[in-house]
Structure 1
Amino acid sequence: MSRKKVGVLISGRGSNMSVLIEAAKAPDFPAEIVGVLSNRAAAPGLEIAQQHGIATASLAQSKFPSRDMFEDTMTQILESWEVDIVCLAGFMRILGEDFVERWRGRMINIHPSLLPAYKGLDTHARVIADGVTVHGCTVHFVTPGLDEGPAILQAEVPVLPGDTPETLSARVLVEEHRIYPEALRLLASGSVSLE
């Protein structure tokens, strides 16, 4: 079995990255994590990746004259790792259309809501404020529109009386950690594809 090579983009601690790294240790998992790229040099996830012997790189967008040049450099790094699939794991930058099209059908993201509901940021606080009773997370293909790509997997969690954004986030994160490796397995094995 030839395993797909995966590059993970992070901005912080990379808890979903860590789950993907662990999942890829299974001999029958169809993907391997070959590199982790962050837009923040201080992202704790970089050190975690290094401890697993995974290549890392960091790029500050502020050092580049344009977003295109920043993303071109990201692509060069990903290509140097011979990446087949890109996984966004808390990467807090909006990606440009050229970059998204370059990885079309090969880039996925985990989002903390049941898309298409609650695109963007602060999903847990918004769900609580709206009095919604069911919340969750979505792994989806990345397309040029923010959080608009087709869903691969979703998981639901109840919103409980007295929930805060923190308690709800923690409950959703458990499900994120369950469905992200499964979605990557589906994509890497060819079981799902972007039409």
Structure 2
Amino acid sequence: MRAVCLLSGTGTNLQVILENIATGNIPISLNAVISDNPMAKGIEKADTSGITTKVIDYKLYDEQSIYHEQLKQSVLIENPDLIILAGYMRILSDDFCETFRGKIINIHPSLLPAYKGLNTHHRVLEAKETHHGTSVHFVIPELDGGPIVIQYRIKIHSSDTADTLKKRVQEGEYQIYSKALKWFALDQLEMKNDKVMFHGDHLDKPILIEEN
């Protein structure tokens, strides 16, 4: 199975994915890593692993529609079966989402559908929530609105800060993203009619894993 990864930052999730590919736990071929950020550390990780990389710096485009078209064409060249978003901070165009519908998977640091968008760790603390977590979902044009596959949930402690929550949530990300990507690669997971299908059956609610 051919895959492309889009990222904007340090590539911590990418590193875990690469390790799982190397051990055969995620049976995919990662053919390219594409970033919108020329300073992204994730590009260095991909280069070190011998993976084709490309930077499409969104700041160089006066019209975002041109940027999105360039991104789409760069991905189409790779003919991917799967597009992995690993800390990609740009909102994908509707056209991109429709072109690759059912092939794009993202991980978001909240218990969706709550806290879509940015700064989730700060926002859950401000709202005095009792739980927080992360969600793997298929991508549709609605921001962070695609059907959810699996979630990792943690209890928020009175001593938690945004930084401690980020660290604990990331530990969960590494676990559940690898699971979801493996299921997809083994044809056990798909999106059909905007619903999650798992082992051929409609998944009524996301799979939930609790922090130990």
Aligned to 2:200: none
Distance 1:45 1:100 in 2: 23
Aligned to 2:100: 103
Report the CA distance between 1:28 and its aligned residue: 5.3
Q: Does 1:163 align with 2:141?
A: no
Work out which of the residue numbers 47, 50, 55 in structure 2 matches 1:53: 50
Output the amino acid matched with 1:141: F
Q: TM-score, normalised on structure 2?
A: 0.87
Distance 1:59 1:52 in 2: 20
Matched-pair contact (CA < 8 Å) for 2:33–2:43? yes
Structure 1 unmatched ranges of 5 or more = none
Report the CA distance between 1:181 and its aligned residue: 1.2
What does the per-residue CA deviation read over 1:120-142, in whole Å, with 9 as the maximum and x for residues that have no partner?
Answer: 11101111111111111000000
Report the CA distance shift for 1:178/1:168 in structure 2 as closer, same or farther (over 3 A).
same
Distance 1:90 1:183 in 2: 16
CA RMSD of aligned residues (A): 1.2
Output the amino acid matched with 2:82: I
Say which is worse superposed, 23-32 or 164-173, in terms of deviation: 23-32
Aligned to 1:116: 113
Distance 1:123 1:175 in 2: 15
Report the CA distance between 1:15 and its aligned residue: 0.6
Matched-pair contact (CA < 8 Å) for 1:20–1:33? no
3-state DSSP of counterpart to 2:22: coil
Where do 1:1-195 residues align within 5 Å? 4-27=1-24, 29-195=26-192
Structure 2 unmatched ranges of 5 or more = 193-212
For this pair of structures, how many residues does the alignment match? 192
Output the amino acid matched with 1:149: G
Output the amino acid matched with 2:166: S
Report the CA distance shift for 1:90/1:28 in structure 2 as closer, same or farther (over 3 A).
closer
Output the amino acid matched with 1:104: R
Distance 1:170 1:48 in 2: 20
3-state DSSP of counterpart to 2:18: helix
Aligned to 2:204: none
Distance 1:31 1:56 in 2: 17
Matched-pair contact (CA < 8 Å) for 1:139–1:154? yes
Matched-pair contact (CA < 8 Å) for 2:124–2:132? yes
Output the amino acid matched with 2:115: Y
